[in-house]
A and B are shown apart, each in its own frame.
Chain A
């Protein structure tokens, strides 16, 4: 077995037993990146020298008998997390020249625990997209192929498409992502990975380039549930620099994976059974429920009556917050600058030149819904519906421990599909957006393949700050599904 095929758990054991060194492990991944990144475009920046330095530090620590949760584990970092001294673009031209003089809290936590950063992963511009097609640094190719049509280039999902493609193709053992409306769970589902969006407040947003602050959630990607639990355990924790960071203890997520589901009540929200859902996704969902029943859980029907309004609500709240957050890109203090007859011309040309079409669209929508005379009709109304969506979850969780739903309404689509109309693209997030609006934790777990041989995920949604149950249910699904399919394009493949 090649080093790039190992899970984090297995690599941790191998490093401890001196079967291989951290430098060996990092070099194996850097070689894989060298071979496959020109095609996949999963990384915007590869920090080769830094990674090797960090791996040497890890080897020294291991030699001294000091092993932390992630000592020597090579990871990809979504290029939305500020990394000190390493360019951070947010997938945008406007941040093309930006080298942060500080480290985000989440990446600082990973570094504290010994992780090695291989580089910065590609993403939709400012994390706005569901296909990674809006990146100013080019699209990412999904390493999975339709078995009937190996020539079609599929999207990895988005916005954390580079993170997902990197982990799926074995260019990294795990990755960070951010999830504002599904940007971890949807690409995880499209690439056959585990992706976790924790509770709002669990992972600090400090140093993460802001999209929609009340909806942005940092979280991990990995190839197994247990690996994702290890990553989240390191990323999470209270941070006084983020006023919405929760001052609650971080439990042992890895231990929670072994809890099992005996006696748990699993809710099935009937509103997620949408018309036109592909039969194979419906079948997989039923299969997932059967697996949980067989493992000792009880399955009950629940109702989340406002589900169908989640997406439209999101497309008011998220652009509104984005229009405000992205006001800082003005060509004055950092980033690209254009024009300059006068200050207004400098702002307007810098922003016209620096933002791509999707980002511009969302800033304009956000500006409109917040503008005088329209605030109550759009923004205030959306905030009220958001309250109803949270209440749906609160009511449902009075009777169940977790919910099970499909992650996405389809498997990965090809470049060019869903791209003629922005709303078609937005519909990808139908099942994932409600958990962002409510702030509840949710994970996508790969459980099967569609008729084209593409991975499909199921989503486990839990109560606020009860990621442990999400991990327990996810691990039970993982065990029952025995998902072992591999993407076509991968290191050593």
Chain B
């Protein structure tokens, strides 16, 4: 499986990272190099193996579904690049 320029542009778009036209070829080579190296995994027989999602070999704990935190908008907004009142501000989304 080898990535072409269109695929690089598509995954960059999915990842919401702007990629300039002159960067596409280089990224294409780098990513194909890594994916080519990963192809070695095709040699492994995984028939009947259950996937492992994490290293924590334990049952997830249940907790009460109640509010335990919050009520400090100032603290939440201290790092906002832009705010209006108690809200995060972004460029206009709906015309």
Chain A positions near chain B (C-beta within 8 angstroms)? 97-99, 101, 200-201, 213-215, 240, 243-244, 246-247, 306, 309, 312-313, 315-316, 323, 327, 330-337, 339-349, 351-352, 355, 360-361, 363-365, 367-368, 371, 374, 377-378, 380-388, 390, 421-423, 436-439, 464
Q: Measured between alpha carbons, how far is A97 from B78 in the docked complex, in Å?
A: 11
Asked if B11 is at the interface of the complex by the 8 Å CB criterion, the answer is yes
Asked if B6 is at the interface of the complex by the 8 Å CB criterion, the answer is no
- Within the complex, which residue of A323, A339, A365, A386 is in contact with B52, where a contact is CB–CB below 8 Å? A386
Residue pair A384, B51 in contact (C-beta under 8 Å):
yes
Asked if B56 is at the interface of the complex by the 8 Å CB criterion, the answer is yes
Q: Measured between alpha carbons, how far is A390 from B52 in the docked complex, in Å?
A: 9
Residue pair B17, A355 in contact (C-beta under 8 Å):
yes
Residue pair A348, B52 in contact (C-beta under 8 Å):
no
Give the shortest distance, in Å, between A414 (CB) and chain B (any CB): 23
Interchain residue pairs with CB less than 8 A apart (10): A101-B78, A343-B91, A347-B16, A361-B27, A381-B44, A383-B52, A384-B52, A387-B51, A421-B33, A423-B37
Contact A363:B46 (CB < 8 A) given known A99-B79, A315-B34, A334-B80:
no
Chain A residues near B41 (CB-CB < 8 A):
309, 312-313, 316, 381-382, 385
Residue pair A464, B18 in contact (C-beta under 8 Å):
no
Residue pair B50, A316 in contact (C-beta under 8 Å):
no
Residue pair B56, A98 in contact (C-beta under 8 Å):
no
Residue pair B33, A423 in contact (C-beta under 8 Å):
yes
For the complex of A and B, the 8 pairs showing the least CB-CB separation, nearest first, are A439-B55, A383-B51, A334-B79, A337-B81, A348-B18, A387-B52, A200-B55, A352-B18
Chain B residues near A337 (CB-CB < 8 A):
81-82
Residue pair B93, A343 in contact (C-beta under 8 Å):
yes
- Within the complex, which residue of A244, A341, A355, A388 is in contact with B56, where a contact is CB–CB below 8 Å? A244
Interface SS of chain A: helix
Residue pair B34, A365 in contact (C-beta under 8 Å):
yes
Residue from A240, A341, A386 whose CB has the most chain B CB atoms within 10 Å: A386
Chain A residues near B30 (CB-CB < 8 A):
361, 422
Residue pair A214, B54 in contact (C-beta under 8 Å):
yes
Question: CB-CB contacts of B1-39 with A at 8 A, as 1s and 0s?
Answer: 101000110011011111100000001001101110110
Contact A201:B38 (CB < 8 A) given known A101-B75, A343-B93:
no
Which B-chain residue is minimally distant from A337 (CB atoms)? B81
